[in-house]
Chain A
Amino acid sequence: MQAELKKYPEKEKSDNGDSIIEISHLQKAFGHNKVLTDFNLVIRKGENVVVLGKSGSGKSVLIKCIVGLLKYDSGSLKVFGNEINTLSNRDLDQLRSRIGFVFQSSALYDSMTVRENLEFSLRRHGKHKTREEVKHLVEETLDDVGLLKAINLMPSELSGGMRKRVGLARSVIMKPEIILYDEPTTGLDPITAREITSLMLDMQAHYNISSVIISHDMFCAQKTADRLTVLIDGTNYADGTFDELSNLDDPQVHAFFEKE
């Protein structure tokens, strides 16, 4: 049975320059390997942006710079108005509690159950002090991703699709303002990939979260993106909506939209 993708109304986007992420002239190199050479991007509140690029083009490096896992060499990267490279560890941790991150590998804590995975950040950030509140929120979030029955399972007992769902639940439970997805549908069969795409749309609508999605799954990109940016040679080579880019007369961009 294929997952049905629901239609959601266009989200209200602020046109008053209410940007969450502002990236300008970003550069990042590993030794002599220049990964990002001049990357520019602005993401506004409520916006979902897909970053397309070939493997090894620097997509994951970009979102790791956004969340402060990697330090960029030069340029400017502001998240909620804060220049990431200049933040202290404490300020960075504060900022990160407003950002969700869904890893390609899900990165579930394998010594903890599904419940403990979701409780981990909740308990630490002290947003929900009572045990009952934490329990209720964990169950509600797992129910949202359709995995309430797996609450006491260990990550090793979950399938790839289930792990992605738990990874997503672990991010949204903190009520982030933006979620960064690192190839959310890679490695999944087409049906499960559709289910995850559908779930991402559900979460975006339900929690009103903006997102940056790193992907080369064009179905996922088409359904989730308000806007796409194509990362080639370390720069944002082309920007636009899915329709605009798919009709662009450029062989490098067109290659992403070609059907097999």
Chain B
Amino acid sequence: MKEDSAGKNMISLLPPGMQNFFNEAGGMASFAARFFREFLVPPYEFREIIRQSFEIGYRSLPLVGLTSFIIGLVFTLQSRPTLVSFGAEAWLPAMVSVSIVREIGPVIVALICAGKIGSSIGAELGSMKVTEQIDAMEVSGNNPFKFIVVSRIVSTTLMLPVLVMLGDAIALTGAYIAVNIAGGVSPVLFFHQVFQNVSFADVIPSFIKSYFFGFAIGLVGCYKGYNSKKGTEGVGRSANSAVVVGSVLVFILDLIAVQITTFMGLF
């Protein structure tokens, strides 16, 4: 109790912007702790998790597919002249595939999902909050946190790695088309070079960090929406800050993941 008030007193000495930052960080940490508590205790909302996974995963696929395809295509087209000038054109499939699998694929897909899924969760929960739907669930003896928050965070955590894998595959297809535009390369040769240069040490860390990206996007979207205030204006703010904070967290997590994989000597 005394430590609590001492902590609050220390925070009150900081400038208002810093105070808000620490309050938000603390609020989000306690929201995450509640998620783990509720996640582990039955009953489990399997039906809602499947429904949300469909909404989050399947419905995001066209956008993720299109952007990944364009990124693969453009990245290859823009990398080619540089490699040609060094006489290293043959390295193009290897360079493109390692870049896409390790970094570009997960980060681009996560950012797209932070925009699409994060804003949608933030706005939906914010609107449920201001129209008292969350209160209605609570007063009828149901647990809105478990039904609304846990199911969405679990779904984003499970779906993001799937979207990243599909995004990577589509981006590599885009890269193959870009390579083919400049000079005829058979798909067998292109993908042979891709699989020769991409190892499990590239795929596994990228797959694992995608889970963390998905968790962060779901957590931030739910936190912002669930704690939405000030009516419809608050709904807009929730959606907006869900995207901003979610995107920043993706970069921070990516930075941490790179440090860990480098430290472990995987790259």
Contacts and interface: CB of A to CB of B under 8 A. Distances in A.
Contacts of B124: 111
Interface stretch (B135-143, B174-182, B250-258): B135-143
A67 B139 contact: yes
A110 B137 CA distance: 12
A89 B145 CA distance: 12
Contact of A103 (B127, B128, B135, B143): B135
A97 B135 CA distance: 14
B133 interface: yes
Which of A68, A121, A124: most chain B Cβ within 10 A?
A124
B30 interface: no
A93 interface: yes
B24 interface: no
A181 interface: no
Interface in A103-134: 103, 105, 107-111, 120-121, 124-125
Contacts of A99: 139
B132 A121 contact: no
B20 interface: no
A96 B132 contact: no
B259 interface: no
A69 interface: yes
Nearest to B132: A107
B195 to A, nearest CB: 43
Interface footprint category on A: 20 to 34
A107 B141 CA distance: 15
Interface footprint category on B: 10 to 19
Interface in B81-139: 124, 127-128, 131-133, 135-139
A5 to B, nearest CB: 28
Contact of A105 (B132, B141, B142): B132
A171 B141 CA distance: 11
A171 B131 CA distance: 17
Contact of B141 (A69, A93, A170): A93
A121 B131 contact: no
A105 B143 CA distance: 20
A96 B140 contact: yes
B247 to A, nearest CB: 26
B139 A101 contact: yes
A174 interface: yes
A74 B179 CA distance: 73
Contacts of B142: 93, 120-121, 124
6 contacts: A93-B143, A95-B141, A96-B138, A101-B140, A111-B124, A124-B141
Interface of B: 124, 127-128, 131-133, 135-143
Interface of A: 64, 67-69, 89, 93-97, 99, 101, 103, 105, 107-111, 120-121, 124-125, 170-171, 174
